[in-house]
Structure 1
Amino acid sequence: MSETMDKVKVELVASNFLTRYPCALGGCTEKDPILCEVTEGPYEGFRVSAEYLRDHTDVDTDLEEAAVAAEDRAAKTLTYAKALRDLKGRLVLPSYDEWREAMRKHEEEYIAERLASQRSWLAELQEMKAEGCDVDAKISTVEVDIAYLEGEPLTAMPAPAGWRPWHTEAA
């Protein structure tokens, strides 16, 4: 490094927002109240994790590796941007109604499979109960699941006007 270049100071900064942030040299910070970051100038937001401070000593090598990785991501992003432009005028999408119909069919199949599974499990639990096992709570849970999947309200109270389970079409 040239002696004429200004140093860039990474400062210890208090934060009251405990979240993980990306570390500029790999990984991420932990949910610490003290962060290591550049607070102003062209490098503002450059952040280093406490784990990096603890585990690494060759900063310049790590900076070069991070720069190469950033250039690689940038190249991939530019390739993706080109691919998006290449799709202009050629992309054929399903309609929203086609998507809804596929969702309806998928949910119908899922519910049928889930009902079959839950009914089978209920039969096994009832056999276990007949053999003297204490499975009443499990039986109750499975019965509620079956009732829900069949479209019944889950409470003893009357269903609110317009109530329907998530997997049925609106009336």
Structure 2
Amino acid sequence: MTLVRTTCLLLAAVLSSALAPSSHAQNRAVSSEPTAPGNPPDLGAAAQMDALRAVATRYNLRIAVMSARGTSLPGIDLDIVSGSSVILQARTTGSILFVRVPPGRYTIRARDQHVEEVRDVQVPSRGALDLRIAWPAAAAPADELPPRQNPAPR
């Protein structure tokens, strides 16, 4: 994935909210769009990028579930597992999930009604891990699939 695509994803990012957070993992919600009346006006693209980069540096595990078109998918359930314990459950909102966990090995499970993708990852003691899970095209929502091509008339 190119730096430009990654930057675009960060600009569009809204952090997912946890369904069952534990003291072992933390996440916070940040949006680049006002969500309620009275919120400050939308920032310019450069300011949004700076704000999201500043937030992203606080987290050492960043997870995005991507469609075949390269867009983030909402409605995918994520489990972060350490050993035999699920330490965080979240559902994607069409965004990047930012999590802070202790360095070490984790299993990331992403699933919807029909598909499960599993990744074993090592979160470093310094820096961060950016995990992109490519969702199978056949399992993506209909609006994420490429348009059907009609065969040429014979």
TM range (shorter): under 0.3
Higher relative contact order (CA 8 A, sep 6+): 2
More strand by share: 2
TM-score w.r.t. length of structure 1:
0.18
Give the TM-score taking structure 2 as reference length: 0.19
- Select the structure of larger CA radius of gyration: 1
Hey, which of these two has a bigger chunk of helix by percent? 1
